[in-house]
Amino acid sequence: MTPAQQYWHACKSITAAVESQLAAIQQASDWFAETILAGLLAHGVVVRHPLPHEYPAPRGM
């Protein structure tokens, strides 16, 4: 398998994993929207990129 094919295969695996969780993602986004629209605070978890030197998080996070 070529590097391009390996990359594409990995991308498809990630997409499939996200797709299998769409119902939970939709529910979470609905909760956030309802909370924000009610004028309350919405708290979430910051998930950092595995390569923080390429994508630094803002200070204080």
Best CA proximity match to 40, nearest among 51, 32, 48 = 32
Q: Which two tokens stand for residue 56?
A: 């630094």
Amino acid 5: pLDDT: 94
Amino acid 48: pLDDT: 65
Amino acid 41: pLDDT: 80
Mean pLDDT of 17-41: 91
Q: Which two tokens stand for residue 41?
A: 């605070």
Amino acid 23: pLDDT: 95
Mean pLDDT of the chain: 81
- In the structure, what pLDDT confidence band is assigned to residue 40 with cuts at 50, 70 and 90? confident
Specify whether the backbone of 35 is left (phi greater than 0), alpha (psi in -120 to 50) or beta: alpha
Who wins on pLDDT, 61 or 4?
4
Q: What span, in angstroms and rounded, lies between the C-alpha atoms of 12 and 6? A: 10
